[in-house]
Structure 1
Amino acid sequence: MDLASILGIVLSFTLMIFGMVFGDDGIDFGKTATFIHVPSMLITFGGSFMAILAQSESLGAFAGSLKSITLIMKVTLASESEIIHKIIDLSNVARKEGLLALEEAANEVEDEFLKKGILLIVDGTDPELVRSILESELTAIEDRHGSTIGFWENIASMGPAWGMIGTLIGLINMLKELDDPSNIGAPMSTALITTFYGSVLANWIATPVALKLKAKSAKEIRMKEVIVEGLLSIQAGENPRVIEEKLKSFLAPAERASFSEGQEGGEA
């Protein structure tokens, strides 16, 4: 589980609740009832999600995008450093035993993208065609990720918009009741609280989810780019040391230092 995502969501909600209940006379949890207004929830949350449903390709696509919120809870186990180590191991096998020996090594590889690339090399596929096939798959992956990220970005923009619609509804109803001050409270509450709900939907849920998915997507694409460059280098028969230096360019300076230290420790 990704503790950063869970703690961020839970603690931000907790702090929001604390701001609601805390006052000069201490903490009063009864104040939370002021912020619960079912019609405003239906306008803001219901309107936002139904507007996104209307522009979705299908009901299944909408449900799939909605379920993608669970992805922010998952930790990405692999890293660029681990991929580079794997590529170097494969390059050593290819250098000592030939490219055909990689077919056996592919059986132990869990990453389907890496396995596909290895098998293309073993089959003797032209290097340019290997690059074209793998980069086409990368483009398809980016498109799928972009669609999911776009779903949450649209929710983030719809929330405040539907909050404003609720505000206008409340103001219209309030203006109709100006001749009876006792009936102004409920419409005014709707007018204000829908804006609050829209902001919460956008800034507590949708925007953080979109940004987290975007970061995860960028990390996955970067690791697959390492795989593409590494496999093509193996196919070209480059020295494992040269391949290592080439792939380390994908790492941040601090990661390069720790990578080098790990290599020295392993050799020792």
Structure 2
Amino acid sequence: MDLATIIGMVVGGTVIIIAIMLGGSFGAFVDMPSMLIVIGGGMAATLIRFPLAGVMVAFQTGGKVAFTHTKVESRELIDKIAEMGDIVRRAGPLGLESVEIDEPNLAKGAQMIADGYDGSFIRESMELARDQYLTRLMEGQRVFKSLGDAAPAFGMIGTLVGLVQMLGNMDDPSAIGPSMAVALLTTLYGAVISNLICLPVADKLTAKLGFEEINQTLIIDGVMSVRDGKSPALIREMLVAYLPENQRSEELPEAA
């Protein structure tokens, strides 16, 4: 569970609601035509840009990363891969069948080593899995970025619709209020949806993409080193290059 996302959205929503309640009635800020323009228009624009299947996958990926994202540190992966190398040297490839591995692609690589697959096949299979995973993250980022861009734009469209309705009914005072509500609330809804939901999730997916690209490449190189029978110390020394420079000195003494 990613508490940062939940806390951020709850705090942001709470601040907006408190500001509304301090200044008047919450009901005055609920307007269905405004919601229809912003949400419906934003979704329509996104569906025009992306295929339906891609949008559905993007929502699943974004929700998973934003709310249930569990970050696996590169150092933990290096430790686990070095442990796998030690097991292979002591018990052979079949010893990996009893190792508990949480990271899916690393677990897949360990199983293929245990099953005796050819090295080139293992690398190609794992690189394909990595590329497909990164592509899903990239598509999710693009869809949420598109929604984040479309929401304020449709908020502006709603503002123009409301102003046109208001100016067209200046002789009817009872129509001015609802038209003005559409004009103002669509801008509010567009800004909130974009800046509190869509763009933060898009940024989180972007960060996840960069992090996972490094981790998945580390896993592939580590699995191939284990498959080639390299020593745990050599594996650790090779993989430590994937760590930020300020963390490398903490890992290297362990290899000595």
What is aligned with 1:108? 99
TM-score computed with the length of structure 1 as normaliser: 0.81
The answer to whether the 8 Å contact 1:103/1:118 transfers is: no
* Aligned pairs for 1:1-268 within 5 A: 1-21=1-21, 27-28=22-23, 30-53=24-47, 55-58=49-52, 62-71=55-64, 72-76=66-70, 78-97=72-91, 101-110=92-101, 111-122=103-114, 125-180=117-172, 183-259=175-251, 263=254
Deviation at 1:56, TM superposition (A): 4.8
- State the one-letter code of the partner of 1:102: P
Alpha-carbon deviations, 1:10-45, whole Å to 9, x = none? 111122223334xxxxx35x3333322121111111
The answer to whether the 8 Å contact 2:61/2:136 transfers is: no
The answer to whether the 8 Å contact 1:149/1:210 transfers is: yes
What is aligned with 1:24? none
Range that drifts further, 242-251 or 60-69: 60-69
**Distance in 1 between residues matched to 2:125 and 2:25, nearest whole Å:** 59
**Distance in 2 between residues matched to 1:240 and 1:104, nearest whole Å:** 15
Deviation at 1:55, TM superposition (A): 4.9
Alignment CA distance shift 1:205-1:136 (3 Å): same
Seq. identity, %: 32
The answer to whether the 8 Å contact 1:40/1:194 transfers is: yes
The answer to whether the 8 Å contact 1:153/1:206 transfers is: yes
The answer to whether the 8 Å contact 1:90/1:102 transfers is: no
Alignment CA distance shift 1:118-1:56 (3 Å): same
Alpha-carbon deviations, 1:176-213, whole Å to 9, x = none? 12344553332222112111111111111101111122
Unaligned runs of 5+ in 2: none
**Distance in 2 between residues matched to 1:234 and 1:67, nearest whole Å:** 34
**Distance in 1 between residues matched to 2:199 and 2:177, nearest whole Å:** 32
**Distance in 2 between residues matched to 1:105 and 1:121, nearest whole Å:** 8
**Distance in 1 between residues matched to 2:72 and 2:49, nearest whole Å:** 35
- State the one-letter code of the partner of 1:190: V
For the residue of structure 1 that corresponds to 2:25, the secondary structure is: helix
For the residue of structure 2 that corresponds to 1:184, the secondary structure is: helix
- State the one-letter code of the partner of 2:82: I
Question: How many residue pairs get matched?
Answer: 254
The answer to whether the 8 Å contact 2:155/2:186 transfers is: yes
**Distance in 2 between residues matched to 1:259 and 1:16, nearest whole Å:** 46
TM-score computed with the length of structure 2 as normaliser: 0.84
Q: Calculate the aligned-residue CA RMSD, in Å.
A: 2.8
Alignment CA distance shift 1:121-1:129 (3 Å): same
**Distance in 2 between residues matched to 1:17 and 1:117, nearest whole Å:** 49
- State the one-letter code of the partner of 1:104: G
Range that drifts further, 62-71 or 1-10: 62-71
The answer to whether the 8 Å contact 1:106/1:115 transfers is: no
